[in-house]
Structures are given as C-alpha cells and as structure tokens.
C-alpha cells in the first residue's frame, strides 16, 4: 500500500500535468480569452462546488466579514490573472508564456516585502535579476527582430503572474478556512464577474467548443484543485515547491508535441533562468554563502 507521502507526490504531479494542458484546451475551444475564463469559472464552480458540498467542505458558519471580503478580493485577482494568462496564449507559444508566468513566486516575495513589510533577503535580488534576464532572453530585444506578439504574450503572462501573486498573499490570510470553500467562492465570484462583461452571446450554441470548455472546467479546474489540495495535506512545503516546476516544464513539452512550437536556444536558456531563479528563491539558496564556504577551504 502506498504511503501518504507518495500518494501526495502522485497527486501533485497529476495536478501539474493537468495544469500543463490548460493552454491547449483554451486555444482549441476557439473562444476569446474572456469567454474561456467565464466558462472555466462556471463549469468549475458547478463541478467543484458539487464535490465540496457532498464532502461537507462548504460550511461557512465561522467565516468572518473580513474573511468574506478577502475571499471576494482574492476571487477578483484570481480571475483577472486568468484573463491575462489566457490572453497571453493568443500572442505567444503556450510553453514560453507559461514559463514567463512562473515568475509568480518572485512577485509574491517582492509584493510581500514592499507592501506587507516582510523581510526580503538581499541575495534574492540576484534571483530577481536572473529571472528577468531570462525574460529578456526569451523576448530577445537585441536581435533586431522584435516580435510585437511575443512581447504582448510575455507581458500578459507577467501581469497575470502579478495578479496570481496577489491572490496567493490574500489566500494565505485565510488559514483556517477549507481551501475547497475558498476555491468555490472564487469560482462563483468569477462566474458573476465575467458574466457582466464577457461576450458570451458570441459563443455558438452548438459545436465541439463545448467539449473543450467543459473539460477546462471539470479536468483543469475541479479535478486539478481536488488533487492539488489532497497533495497539500500530505506534503511538506519544500516538496510542493519543487514539484510545482512540473507545470511549466510539462507545458513546454505539451506545446512542442501538440503545436510543434519552435523554441530557440536563447529562449531555452531564458526559460531555464526563470525556472532556476524561482526554485532558488523558494529554497533560499544563498550563493554568497557558497562562495565564502569555498574560500574557507
């Protein structure tokens, strides 16, 4: 019988693998980003909400007014993040934009330091520099062949990362609330929010797009969240941080296999720089200490 730790690792890897196909399902649905976000919220709310209700996770009797407000703001930032992320898929290769989106751990630390007065270790500035050097390598502004679409795609992904970082920091303050309840509330807020300005009347009444949108809500939202929360309950934070990198790496592979997206050596180097910088910040790697240790020998 598998140990809980191994089950948690499997759940986390499966959740990240599902996440890696989000861009494909959004693109294949043929819908504008705002409509894709609306139906992800709607179908995700229906599926995840039903699961959470059956499991008894929707008890909100102890939620305070301040916590409801935080969930409301967190829902808005999460949905805005999806709007920009899905928009990025329209302009640049899905694998590239997803790796740029993985600057989010860096923005979590930066925002916490700037606005929440949390300590920002000096060595982290090196990793910020490495990450944004990676972004520059992907865009490659010095080649003389600026691509407006690539810049729009990378820019949208980075804006999405900022909003996801805000969502993370807000949700961290809801420690005693079931994550399933938080996610269900976020999806409900997203459904109402997107229904007001997404051009949903333009979606054809019949067509294959419904299969892609339903799968986006069921697999990449409800099932993914269930697996993710199951993993969170079984794994230590460092292991979660490491396994989270399955998502961008798998997305690059999926993008290549499905769309044969060409990735230049410089782009590859840039993506490695972004991923390593995020990993180094998560693991609090201090290169100066390494250097001092080497000098001591």
Q: What would the pLDDT profile of 209-224 be if each residue is shown by its tens digit?
A: 999 999 999 999 999 9
Residue 138 lies in a domain: no
Supply 150's token pair: 């690539």
pLDDT category at 50 given cuts 50, 70, 90 is: very high
Supply 49's token pair: 């909400």
pTM of the predicted model as reported, rounded to 2 decimal places: 0.87
Rounded to whole angstroms, the Cα distance separating 194 from 54 reads 26
* Cβ-based burial of 205 (10 A; exposed 0-12, middle 13-18, buried ≥19): exposed
Rounded to whole angstroms, the Cα distance separating 127 from 112 reads 16
Residue 150 lies in a domain: yes
Residue 60 lies in a domain: yes
pLDDT of res. 226: 93
Residues 29 and 209: beta-carbon distance below 8 Å: yes
Domain range for 203: 4-121+146-262
DSSP three-state, residue 124: helix
Number of domains into which the chain is organized: 1
Residues 217 and 44: beta-carbon distance below 8 Å: yes
Neighbours of 283 (CB within 10 A): 11
In tens, the pLDDT along 122-173 reads 777 888 888 878 877 876 655 555 577 888 999 999 999 999 999 988 988 8
Residue 8: C-alpha distances to residues 85, 148, 234, 247 (Å): 27, 41, 5, 16
Residue 283 lies in a domain: no
Residue 238 has pLDDT above 70, yes or no: no
Residue 35 lies in a domain: yes
Residue 168 lies in a domain: yes
Q: Average pLDDT for residues 30-41, to the nearest whole number?
A: 96
Q: What is the DSSP string of 201-240?
A: GGS-SSSTHHHHHHHHHIIIIIIHHHHHHHHHTTS-HHHH
Rounded to whole angstroms, the Cα distance separating 239 from 233 reads 12
Residues 31 and 210: beta-carbon distance below 8 Å: no
- How open is the CA angle 265-270-276, to the nearest 5 degrees? 125
Average pLDDT, the chain: 86
Over its C-alpha atoms, the chain yields an Rg (Å, rounded) of 20
In tens, the pLDDT along 272-293 reads 888 888 778 766 777 755 545 5
Residues 245 and 107: beta-carbon distance below 8 Å: no
Residues 42 and 191: beta-carbon distance below 8 Å: yes
Helices (H), the chain: 4-19, 22-29, 33-54, 65-88, 94-101, 104-115, 124-139, 148-171, 179-197, 209-217, 224-232, 237-243, 246-259, 265-282, 287-296
Residue 292 lies in a domain: no
Residue 182 lies in a domain: yes
Q: Average pLDDT for residues 173-187, to the nearest whole number?
A: 91
């Amino acid at each position: 019988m598998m140990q809980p730790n191994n089950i948690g690792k499997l759940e986390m890897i499966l959740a990240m693998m599902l996440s890696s196909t989000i861009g494909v399902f959004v693109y294949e649905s043929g819908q504008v980003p705002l409509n894709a976000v609306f139906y992800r919220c709607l179908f995700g709310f229906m599926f995840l909400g039903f699961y959470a209700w059956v499991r008894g996770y929707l008890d909100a009797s102890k939620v305070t007014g301040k916590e409801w407000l935080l969930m409301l703001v967190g829902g808005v930032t999460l949905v805005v993040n999806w709007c920009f992320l899905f928009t990025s898929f329209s302009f640049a290769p899905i694998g590239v934009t997803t790796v740029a989106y993985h600057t989010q751990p860096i923005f979590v630390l930066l925002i916490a330091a700037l606005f929440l007065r949390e300590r920002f270790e000096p060595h982290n500035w090196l990793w910020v520099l490495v990450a944004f050097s990676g972004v520059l390598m992907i865009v490659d502004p010095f080649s003389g062949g600026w691509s407006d679409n690539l810049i729009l795609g990378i820019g949208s992904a980075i804006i999405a990362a900022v909003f996801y970082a805000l969502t993370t920091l807000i949700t961290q303050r809801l420690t005693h609330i079931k994550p399933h309840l938080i996610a269900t509330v976020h999806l409900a807020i997203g459904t109402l929010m997107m229904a007001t300005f997404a051009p949903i009347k333009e979606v054809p009444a019949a067509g294959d797009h419904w299969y892609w949108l339903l799968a986006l809500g069921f697999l990449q939202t409800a099932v993914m969240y269930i697996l993710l929360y199951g993993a969170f309950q079984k794994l230590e934070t460092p292991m979660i941080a490491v396994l989270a990198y399955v998502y961008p790496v798998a997305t690059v592979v999926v993008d290549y296999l499905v769309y044969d997206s060409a990735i230049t050596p410089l782009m590859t180097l840039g993506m490695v720089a972004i991923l390593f910088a995020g990993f180094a910040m998560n693991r609090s790697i201090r290169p100066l200490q390494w250097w001092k240790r080497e000098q001591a020998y």
